[in-house]
Amino acid sequence: MAKLKLMILGKDDDVLRAHCRPVDQITDRIIRLLDDMTETMRANNGCGLAANQVGVLRRVVVIEVEEGNVIELINPKIVAMAGEQHESEGCLSLPGRWGITTRPKSVTVRALNRKGEEFEITGQDLLARAFCHELDHLDGKMFSDNAEMIDPDKESRGGN
């Protein structure tokens, strides 16, 4: 595994604002990307990472809101949402910046795993926020686009 370079908003906008392409075939390269993204996310104290945040324009996401439980999503789509939450969010591509966002309280995502098997997973609270945050990245959207407040003075605590 390898730690990958993070794309930073303001420097790497062409990649961060791009729409990611679907994965047509799960190859060794995609498996390596999943592993490298997990290492990169953990090394930067994040709880989620989208492929374009490491310069790869593919619909691939890793999320780890519970230590040791990495959720890998290939070609993810939100299929259900319910409720509402207003919480603080940060982002590894906007280091040291935080904002309050409105997200669904519950989100169900359909995706492929690393074996190419389709599955659905439902997340509540932080996991629901992470699903929305990371899938937004795949469409070139940043949490700051919809944040009610950005607070650059908060201590950096990692991010999605």
Instruction: Supply the residues annotated as catalytic.
Output: 134
User: One-letter amino acid identity for 120?
Assistant: E
Sheet strands side by side (includes 48-50):
48-50, 60-66, 69-82, 106-112, 118-124
Give CA–CA dist 113/74, Å, rounded.
6
Strand segments (E) across the chain:
48-50, 60-66, 69-82, 85-91, 94-103, 106-112, 118-124, 149-150
Beta strands 149-150 and 118-124, pairing class: unpaired
Give CA–CA dist 156/55, Å, rounded.
22
